Structure 1
Amino acid sequence: MVNLLGATALAVTDLLVAGAKTASGTSSSGAAALVLLHEENRLNVTELGRRVGLTQSAAARMVDGLEQRGLVTRRPTGSRWVSVHLTAAGRRVARQLLDSRNTEIAALVARLSLADQRTLATILEKLLTGIHHGVGNSDRICRLCDRGSCLRAGASCPVGQSRRRQAAQVGAHHDARAGEAVG
C-alpha cells in the first residue's frame, strides 16, 4: 500500500505540475505564486517566496519573470516593502491554472464510483490533517488549491481545520503556562 500511495502521489503531482506549467507558461513556483495571489492579492515578495518554498532572492527573480510577462505588478506599500499584485492577465492565467487543475483531478476521480469517491474524500481529509500536523505550513500545502472548492456546499478545508485546532491548542497551552507564572 505504501508503494501504491507513493506512486499515485508522484503521478498526480506530475500531472498537476505539467498542467500548471502549460496553463501558466511559467515554472511550478510561478504558477503557485499566481494561484496564491489570486486568493490573496498584495503579498510582499518575501512572504510570497515563503509560501511557495523559495528564498527571498529566488522569489524576487520569480516575480521579475512574472512581471516581465505582464502577470504581476509591484507597488510600494508606504514602508520599505513592495507588494505584488496580479494584473488582469495574471488573474486570467490564475483562473486557467485552477480550471486546468480541477479538470485533471476530475478526470482521475471520474473513474471511481460515487461510493469510492466519498471514501477517497474521507481518507484524503485524514491524510491532509496528518500532513499538516507534520509539516505545519498550510500555505505551502495548499499553494495550488482552489480554496473556494473547500468551502462549497458547507464543506470545510481539513488543512484549515487542522491549523485552527493547532492554534487553539497553542493558545490554551500558552494560557495555562501564563496562569502558572502568575499563580
Structure 2
Amino acid sequence: MHNRLANLLGAASLAVTDLAVGGATRAAGVSASGAGALVVLAHAPGLGVTELGRRVGLTQSAAARMLDGLEAAGLARRAPGPGRGVQVRLTPAGEEAVDAVLTARGAPLATALAALDADERDRLAALLGKLLTGLYAEIGDAEVMCRLCDRECCTDGAVCPVGQAERDAAGGEKAAATP
C-alpha cells in the first residue's frame, strides 16, 4: 500500500535536493560530496581524510580522490597532523567557496518557501524540526545530516533540532550506562 503523504514528501524532498545541491555544486565547481566537504571543513578544520569522507558519505579511497580534486582546484590542502595523520584545511579560496555554496544552496530553498505565508512557514518549521528529530533516530549522526547546513542561520535565535536530538541521545546513553 502506498501512502500519498509519503509520496508527496519524497517528491518534495527530491525536488528541493536537486535545487539546493545543484546550486551548491555549480557555485563551487565541485561535486556534491566536494561541496559537502567544503562546508564540513569550514566547521571542523583539520579533519583527517577518513573522517571527512565519513561525514560526506565516501569511503577513505573515494574521499582521497575527492580531496585530490579540491586540492587541484585550490580549495583545500592537506597538512601533517599528529603522528602519521593528515589534516585537511580550507584555503582562502575554499573559504570563499563555502560562502558561495551556502548562498547558492539557500537561494532556491528561500524561493520554494516563498510559496507559503508566514504562519505556514512557522508551522512547517515546527514540523520539520519534529521530522528531523525522528530522522536523527534513524541516521544517528548530526555531522552527516548537517553536512551542507548553514549552521549560523539554523541556530540564530533557535536550537538546531538535529543537534538537540544528538545531545538528547548522548544524555540518554550516559544515563543508560550509569548503574
For this structure pair, what is the TM-score category when the shorter chain's length is used for normalisation? over 0.9
Q: Which position in structure 1 is the counterpart of 2:75?
A: 71
How many residues end up aligned between the 2 structures? 175
The offset of 1:78, in angstroms, is: 3.4
Whether the 8 Å contact between 2:48 and 2:86 is mirrored in structure 1 is yes
Q: TM-score, normalised by structure 1?
A: 0.94
- Computing the radius of gyration from Cα coordinates, the structure with the larger value is 1
Provide Cα deviations, 1:5-51, integer angstroms capped at 9, x if missing partner. 11000100111121111011111000000011111111110110000
Amino acid of the structure 2 residue aligned with 1:89:
A
Q: Alpha carbon RMSD of aligned pairs, Å?
A: 0.8
Q: Percent identity?
A: 50
Amino acid of the structure 1 residue aligned with 2:174:
G
Q: Give structure 1 stretches of 5+ with no counterpart.
A: 177-183
* Secondary structure of 2:122's aligned partner: helix
The answer to whether residue 94 in structure 2 is matched with residue 90 in structure 1 is yes
* Secondary structure of 2:149's aligned partner: coil
Provide Cα deviations, 1:111-160, integer angstroms capped at 9, x if missing partner. 1100000000001000000000111011111010001112112x000000
The answer to whether residue 160 in structure 2 is matched with residue 157 in structure 1 is yes
Q: TM-score, normalised by structure 2?
A: 0.96
The offset of 1:101, in angstroms, is: 1.1
Distance between the aligned counterparts of 1:104 and 1:14, measured in 2? 10
Q: Which position in structure 1 is the counterpart of 2:63?
A: 59
Following superposition of structure 1 onto structure 2, how do residues 1-183 of structure 1 map, counting pairs within 5 Å? 1-153=5-157, 155-176=158-179
Distance between the aligned counterparts of 1:138 and 1:106, measured in 2? 23
Q: Give structure 2 stretches of 5+ with no counterpart.
A: none
Runs of 4+ deviating beyond 2 Å = none
